[in-house]
Homo-oligomer: A and B are copies of this chain.
Amino acid sequence: MDSERHLIERVAKKLPSRIGGGLRVGIGDDAAVMRPRKGSEWVLTTDAFLENVHFQLRLHPPEAVGYKALARATSDLAAMGARPRYFLLSLALPPSCTGKWFDRFLEGMSRAARGFGLVLAGGDTTKNPLAAINLTVIGEVPPGQAVLRSGARPGNLICVSGTLGEAELGLRLLQRGWGKFSAGPSSELRVNKWSPNPRKKWVRLLRKHFYPEPRLALGEWLAKNRRATAMIDTSDGLSTDLAHLCEASGVGARVWAHRIPRVAVPNEIRKLGLDPLRLALDGGEDYELLFTVPRRTARRLPRVVRGVPITVIGEITRGKHILLMDGAGRTKTLPAQGWDPFRVRM
């Protein structure tokens, strides 16, 4: 059985955790000590990632668990336009996850940390029958530059980055047994009869569910250039996250269904009842940015920023209603049917 100390040593070795820059005291003391940069504001968020709620050991490769735990939390910084700096890792693990699984978990988390520019500043480890991971991520933003949920105004156009519904499609396929990972380091996918060349195709369709990419560069660009009046990341699903944004801003919205950039569902699996529009509207965990821009500046908004496509999908309205308009101009209410952990679904 591993001691807590040995686990912490492995964490320190695998994850970027060097003292320097603003970090005066890192892991190994009672708390981390940081010196904020002059004239900056700090942006902080905390996020739980729990076995059997957010992931399953038999379905998710350890690398994806480590990567995604950090990516989810960091996406909240992207949604504020902040630049990631440090993170704190709280780890509760069953003894079965302290061996090889743990090395692979750290591998995935290390990839995320380096990719996002994060340094581990502190943490906590304990034993628990189920894996329970909590991330606290700390970022910086110039004073007054953070983009809030509450700044959307009637007439603003609604934009979204990337493609919606991809992560949900991956999750649905995974739940249907389309990807079952071996315990080995190669993360092999079992062959499934549905597809002619299943392995390659599945890897592609599962990628966004396993390895979402927080839109950090886009978020920072929007904040720095003061292009967005309000912003949120699509963690719960467009219908729910747009409702959050509208509520915080005290406005309504009209979304043009045919404009929504939605997941491509391969023909051979359409028969599974996977509707691209539904996946795009209510599917969670894409971690794209949903933001609003003044109509007069919308024209000057590039279609692609830092490699990420941006699509105008609707407009902010007076009142409180959120409506979905189809290609023929018919509107209906768009209910918030994304992810709510305390609401029973399906």
- The listed residue (B7, B36, B44, B53) touching A121 by CB distance below 8 A is B44
Report if A163 contacts B (CB, 8 A). no
Residues of B within 8 A of A132 (CB): 48, 50, 92, 128, 132
Q: How far is the CA of A116 from the CA of B53 in the complex (A)?
A: 33
State the Cβ distance, A194 to closest chain B Cβ, in Å: 32
The reply on A331 being an interface residue by CB < 8 A is: no
Interface size classification for chain A: 35 or more
A28 proximity list for chain B (CB < 8 A)? 149, 248
Residues of B within 8 A of A143 (CB): 35
CB interface residues, A 46-102, toward B, < 8 Å: 46-48, 50, 52-54, 76-77, 79-80, 82, 86, 88-92, 95, 98
Q: Which residues of B contact A32 (CB under 8 A)?
A: 43-45
**Cα separation A129 to B129 with both chains bound (whole Å):** 12
With both chains docked as a complex, state the minimum distance between the C-beta of A252 and any C-beta of chain B, in angstroms. 18
B residues in contact with A138, CB < 8 Å: 44
B341 touches A44 (CB 8 A): no
* Interface membership of A167, Cβ < 8 A: no
Query: How many copies of the polypeptide does the oligomer hold?
Result: 2
Instruction: Tell me whether B45 and A122 are in contact (CB under 8 A).
Output: yes
Complex-state Cα separation, A41 to B25, whole angstroms? 11
Are B125 and A341 closer than 8 Å at their CB atoms?
A: yes
Report the minimal beta-carbon distance from A237 to chain B, rounded to whole angstroms.
13
Contact B127 A342 (CB under 8 A): yes
**A residues near B, CB below 8 A?**
1-7, 24-25, 28-36, 40-48, 50, 52-54, 76-77, 79-80, 82, 86, 88-92, 95, 98, 121-130, 132, 134, 136, 138-139, 141, 143, 146, 148-150, 231-233, 248, 340-344
Q: Is the CB of A89 within 8 A of B53?
A: no
Closest B-chain residue to A149, C-beta based? B29
B342 touches A48 (CB 8 A): no
Q: Give the CA-CA distance A44 to B22 in the complex, in Å.
A: 13
With contact pairs A4-B343, A30-B76, A53-B128 given, residues A46 and B136 touching in the complex (Cβ less than 8 Å): yes
Contact B34 A41 (CB under 8 A): yes
Evaluate contact between A122 and B4: CB separation under 8 angstroms. Answer: no
Q: Is the CB of B92 within 8 A of A48?
A: yes
Other than the known A31-B77, A34-B44, A45-B124, what 19 A-B pairs have Cβ atoms closer than 8 Å?
A: A1-B342, A3-B343, A4-B340, A4-B341, A4-B343, A29-B150, A30-B79, A31-B146, A33-B41, A33-B43, A44-B138, A46-B88, A46-B89, A46-B124, A48-B92, A48-B132, A50-B126, A125-B342, A136-B136
Q: Given A31-B43, A31-B45, A45-B31, decide whether A53 and B127 contact each other with a Cβ distance below 8 A.
A: yes
